[in-house]
Amino acid sequence: MKNPYVPELAVIEETRVEAPGVKTFKLKLRHGGIFTFTPGQFIELSVFGYGEAPFSVSSSPLQRDFFEVTVRKTGMLTSALFELERGNTVGVRGPFGNGWPIEKMKKYSILMIGGGIGIAPLKPVIEYVVANRKDYEEVILLYGAKTPKDIVFKKELEMWREKIDVHLTVDIGDNSWKGRTGVVTVLFDEIKVNPKETYSIQCGPPIMMYFVTKKLLELGFPEDRILLSLERLMKCGMGFCGHCMISGKFVCKDGPVFSYNQIKDFLESAI
């Protein structure tokens, strides 16, 4: 069993610019081992000399000889990460957390809601569902970004349209934008779902998840089928630092995926 406290070395095989200030890093373990994870889990990534931080895995779980993280440039560590290139080495601990219940969701419809870079923790489950489409009923993705330029995974969104129902919106359009404008909840006007036969999964800015959850409850979704990723709150990933502790729960150890009925008593402080 590998030591969860000690980072494994991983080599950057590729970097891709997804949007302004957002990059995807393709990583491969230096010793050549496989990397397995459940969609929704996260890793702790070290940039040597700058520290470490948690990031959701954003690649398909079916691809095991490499894995990807999609990162927004926000501070010193991510700025240092953005300076790294192909062939540079980082440290990786994990994966950690519980992930999305992909087996439990089989034979049900799935409504996925993402905001901004919050689509990154959803991408692995989308890739898994697309690859195993016959195991699920109707699958809908609602995704919102600030502007058309801020939409991440543009190529993937077009490919996913072949297998699932994709709806997009932006807060502010431009001259080239022909789609919806407004917060992600405006997209509920475009879809019909049966709440009793559907799981909803979501990740995005706190204010988005708050209002999306209110909308889902209004539609009649059962509390145990409203699933949220609270990954933004984490730090050490192992429950030691207490940074992500909310009402006795550690987001990193008990989550980062929670059902609404698990967190409804402290929803506002959790998101």
Whole-angstrom distance, CA of residue 97 vs CA of residue 57? 11
Question: pLDDT tens digits, residue range 221-238?
Answer: 999 999 999 876 677 776
Give the CB-side neighbour count of residue 131, counting CA atoms within 13 A.
Answer: 12
Whole-angstrom distance, CA of residue 177 vs CA of residue 181? 9
Residue 268 is predicted with a pLDDT of 59
Average pLDDT over residues 28-57: 94
> Which CATH code fits 8-96?
2.40.30.10
**Fold classified for 109-270:** Rossmann fold (3.40.50)
Whether the per-residue pLDDT at 197 is higher than 90: the answer is yes
Degrees (nearest 5) of the Cα angle 168, 26, 52?
A: 100
Amino acid identity of residue 114, one-letter, is G
The encoded tokens of residue 192 equal 């019909």
User: Helices H, strands E: what count in the chain?
Assistant: 7, 15
Residue 270 is predicted with a pLDDT of 53
Sheet of strand 42-47, all strands in order from the earlier edge strand to the far edge: 51-56, 42-47, 89-96, 8-19, 22-29, 67-72
Nearest to 270 by CA among 219, 177, 203, 191: 203
Q: Which residue has the higher pLDDT, 238 or 119?
A: 119
Question: pLDDT tens digits, residue range 236-257?
Answer: 776 667 777 776 777 778 779 9
Segments in the chain forming alpha helices (H) = 76-83, 123-131, 154-160, 206-219, 251-254, 260-263, 267-270
What's this model's pTM, rounded to 2 decimal places? 0.93
Whole-angstrom distance, CA of residue 107 vs CA of residue 266? 31
Whole-angstrom distance, CA of residue 24 vs CA of residue 86? 12
Whether the per-residue pLDDT at 119 is higher than 80: the answer is yes
- Per the CB < 8 A criterion, the answer to whether 164 and 139 are in contact is yes
Report domain extents, the chain.
Answer: 8-96, 109-270
The encoded tokens of residue 134 equal 């016959």
